[in-house]
Structure 1
Amino acid sequence: MSAALTAAPGAPGATDPAGPEVLHVESQVAQLRLEDPGRKGPEASEENVASSAQSRAVPADAGPSLTRSVPPLAQAALSVPASPPDYLQVHLQEPAGQEERQESVPSADPVFQVPISKAVQLTTNDAVKTTLLMELDISKTDFSYQPGDAFNIICPNSDSEVQSLLQRLQLTDKREHRVLLEIKADTKKRGTALSSCFFCVLGPAGRR
């Protein structure tokens, strides 16, 4: 690398005596950013390649999950929308007590556990999303069902996916902490509101 870089004619700082020295420093900084801040040399590069290969290695029979997608969805052309402006503020509070942790998922109505008497797949095996026709046996419950009524199905989250998400967010040690959500006072997003789906991950969207 030369000791100084020549500024282009007419460029800002071309007549400034300190210009070449400043450009030289900026070039060095840019070069440092491209280099590994730790060890240098081919050994570090080989370790990085090996680490990347290990991180991509998954069991051949692994199914779809939060961290792994499978065909046909994995091969479909997807477009990701732009991230909206930040408008939520998250506060971690003290962990919930033992009694609160043992309570069931919050619900306005009683929660029943019933068996599945029948399940039929309505879509083909190569469909992007699988649709099932399911029949539930409610004969041994006090659930009063009338034609046209709707009910919610509560499914537990996979513990491995929850743990993976906590590790990604670096919140593994705060697994039992409660979360307080607030709208930022200086947000530029219009029509902000705390939707009910924010307070219960398993909560379905409300009907209109």
Structure 2
Amino acid sequence: MAPPPAAQAVAALLLAALLALASSHAAAATGVFQVHRKFRRAAGEEGGNITAHLAHDIGRRGRLLDAVDVPLGGLGLPTDTGLYYTKIEIGTPPKPFHVQVDTGSDILWVNCITCDKCPHKSGLGIDLMLYDPKGSSSGSTVSCDQPFCAATYGGKLPGCTASLPCEYSVMYGDGSTTTGYFVSDLLQYNQVAGDGQTRHGNGSVTFGVVLSKVGI
């Protein structure tokens, strides 16, 4: 049994980036994200459809994995494969995004409003927000001559000028692909204070906006 349509609909964003952001922006605080299962359990099933979970895991683990630093809750190399999603807010004013908790790639991205084939609703009936680069006063396109782009590709790209965006293209081991360009914007999240209560926080994060994708 193949994974449900939600596997092709929920926008992906790396857990690694969320953790790195919270660590660098608030060294003494802990970021909090409410995590949900992406595969719903069928009635009477104790742990959901194992065949579907296994098929999904095999495909996701076929990606080229980078080491992931986990500053929240210690250091380690997470090996979970994107069976969970969470809700975050990006931009100014902040807009809600349901994003996949996924450590299978070093590129983080959300669907762009100009993406023709990006869905507006997931297979679980969740309304999916599409990122509008012009709709956030705190967002900006990352040009190919900026340090982030040079660090991503190991040097300045041939033919790069300040007017060209820093583009990306990723092919995963399960055959899915995503292409687009990088932007920088504010990620809104909650922090755990010393008294065990949560408080609002935000920090700048660089991520990809999808212009086209296949199989995700």
TM-score bin, normalised by smaller chain: under 0.3
Q: TM-score, normalised by structure 2?
A: 0.23
> Which one has the bigger strand percentage?
2
Task: Say which one has the larger Rg.
Answer: 1
TM-score normalised according to structure 1 size: 0.24
Higher helix proportion (structure 1 or 2)? 1
